[in-house]
Chains A and B, each alone.
Chain A
Amino acid sequence: MPQESELICVTCPKGCTLKVLHEGNQVIDVLGSGCRRGKEYAICELQDPRRMVASSVKVRSGLHPLLPVYTAKAFPKPLIPELAKILRQVEVSAPVKINQVIIENALNTGIDIIASRDMPKL
Chain B
Amino acid sequence: MKNLYDVVVVGSGPGGLAAAISAKKNGAADVLIIERDMELGGILLQCIHNGFGLEIFGKDMPGPSYAQHFIEEALSLGVEVLLDTMVLDVRPDLSVIMMNKRDGIQEVQARAIVLAMGCRERTRAQILLPGTRPAGVYSAGTAQRWVNIEGFMPGNRFVILGSGDIGMIMARRLTIEGAKVERVLEIMPYLTGLTRNYVQCLMDYDITLQKSHTINRIIGDKRVEAVESVAVDEKWNPIPGSEEIIPCDTVLLSVGLIPENELSKNVGVTLDPLTGGPIVDNHFMTSRPGIFAAGNVVHVYDLVDWVTEAGFAAGKGAAVYALQGEVAGVKQIALKAGENIRYVVPHLLDIDSLRSESTRLQLRVTQPVEERVRIIVEDEQGDILAKKAEPYARPGEIITLEIKPDAYEMAKKAQKITINCVTVAQKQTTG
- Identify the A interface with B (CB < 8 A): 8-10, 12-17, 32, 34, 51-56, 58, 63-66, 68, 70, 77, 80, 84, 87-88, 98-99, 116-118
In whole angstroms, what is the CA distance A83 to B148 when docked?
Answer: 17
Known contacts A54-B49, A55-B176, A116-B65, A64 near B195 by CB under 8 Å: no
- Whether the pair A54, B62 counts as a contact (CB closer than 8 A) is yes
Which of A12, A32, A116 lies at the interface centre, i.e. has the most chain B CB atoms within 10 A of its CB?
A116
Cβ of B49: which chain A residues have Cβ within 8 Å of it?
A: 54
Cβ of B198: which chain A residues have Cβ within 8 Å of it?
A: 8
Known contacts A56-B48, A116-B62, A117-B45, A66 near B151 by CB under 8 Å: yes
CB nearest to A77 among chain B residues: B204
In chain B, positions 27-69 with a C-beta closer than 8 Å to chain A are 38-39, 45, 48-51, 54, 60, 62-65, 67-68
Tell me if B200 counts as interface (CB < 8 A to partner A): yes
CB nearest to A52 among chain B residues: B50
- Whether the pair A10, B391 counts as a contact (CB closer than 8 A) is no
- A-B pairs with beta carbons under 8 Å apart, 5 shown: A16-B391, A55-B173, A64-B149, A68-B64, A116-B64
In whole angstroms, what is the CA distance A34 to B195 when docked?
Answer: 15
In whole angstroms, what is the CA distance A90 to B148 when docked?
Answer: 15
- Whether the pair A118, B177 counts as a contact (CB closer than 8 A) is no
Contact of B148 among A9, A13, A53, A68 (CB under 8 A): A68
In whole angstroms, what is the CA distance A75 to B138 when docked?
Answer: 31
In chain B, positions 93-116 with a C-beta closer than 8 Å to chain A are none
- Whether the pair B151, A68 counts as a contact (CB closer than 8 A) is no
Cβ of B325: which chain A residues have Cβ within 8 Å of it?
A: none
Which of B39, B48, B49, B63 lies at the interface centre, i.e. has the most chain A CB atoms within 10 A of its CB?
B48
Known contacts A52-B60, A70-B48, A116-B48, A12 near B54 by CB under 8 Å: yes
Interface string of B132-171 (1 = CB under 8 A from A): 0000000000000001111100000000000000000000
Cβ of B189: which chain A residues have Cβ within 8 Å of it?
A: none
- Whether the pair A10, B200 counts as a contact (CB closer than 8 A) is yes
Known contacts A77-B204, A117-B67, A10 near B60 by CB under 8 Å: no
Identify whether the interface residues of A are mostly helix, strand, loop, or mixed: loop
CB distance from A49 to the nearest CB of B (A): 9
- Whether the pair A13, B196 counts as a contact (CB closer than 8 A) is yes
In whole angstroms, what is the CA distance A12 to B48 when docked?
Answer: 17
Cβ of B424: which chain A residues have Cβ within 8 Å of it?
A: none
- Whether the pair A88, B178 counts as a contact (CB closer than 8 A) is yes
- Whether the pair A13, B303 counts as a contact (CB closer than 8 A) is yes
Cβ of A84: which chain B residues have Cβ within 8 Å of it?
A: 176-178
In whole angstroms, what is the CA distance A13 to B397 when docked?
Answer: 9
A55-B48, A98-B68 known; 12 new pairs, CB 8 Å cut-off, are A9-B196, A10-B196, A10-B199, A10-B200, A12-B54, A13-B194, A15-B194, A52-B50, A55-B176, A68-B64, A77-B204, A117-B65
Cβ of B48: which chain A residues have Cβ within 8 Å of it?
A: 54-56, 68, 70, 116
Cβ of B173: which chain A residues have Cβ within 8 Å of it?
A: 55
Cβ of A117: which chain B residues have Cβ within 8 Å of it?
A: 45, 64-65, 67-68
- Whether the pair A88, B204 counts as a contact (CB closer than 8 A) is no
In whole angstroms, what is the CA distance A12 to B194 when docked?
Answer: 10
CB nearest to B169 among chain A residues: A54
In chain B, positions 56-96 with a C-beta closer than 8 Å to chain A are 60, 62-65, 67-68
Tell me if B228 counts as interface (CB < 8 A to partner A): no
CB nearest to A68 among chain B residues: B48
Closest 4 CB pairs of A and B: A117-B64, A68-B48, A15-B195, A15-B196
In whole angstroms, what is the CA distance A115 to B45 when docked?
Answer: 13
- Whether the pair B50, A8 counts as a contact (CB closer than 8 A) is no
Contact of B50 among A14, A16, A70, A87 (CB under 8 A): A70
Tell me if B302 counts as interface (CB < 8 A to partner A): yes
CB distance from A67 to the nearest CB of B (A): 9
- Whether the pair A51, B200 counts as a contact (CB closer than 8 A) is yes
In whole angstroms, what is the CA distance A66 to B144 when docked?
Answer: 13
- Whether the pair A54, B177 counts as a contact (CB closer than 8 A) is no
- Whether the pair A15, B51 counts as a contact (CB closer than 8 A) is no
In whole angstroms, what is the CA distance A8 to B196 when docked?
Answer: 7
- Whether the pair A15, B150 counts as a contact (CB closer than 8 A) is no
Cβ of B38: which chain A residues have Cβ within 8 Å of it?
A: 63
Cβ of B65: which chain A residues have Cβ within 8 Å of it?
A: 98-99, 116-117
Known contacts A8-B196, A13-B302, A15-B194, A53 near B176 by CB under 8 Å: yes
Interface string of B174-190 (1 = CB under 8 A from A): 00111000000000000
Cβ of B50: which chain A residues have Cβ within 8 Å of it?
A: 52, 54, 70
- Whether the pair A15, B68 counts as a contact (CB closer than 8 A) is no
CB distance from B368 to the nearest CB of A (A): 13
CB nearest to B39 among chain A residues: A63
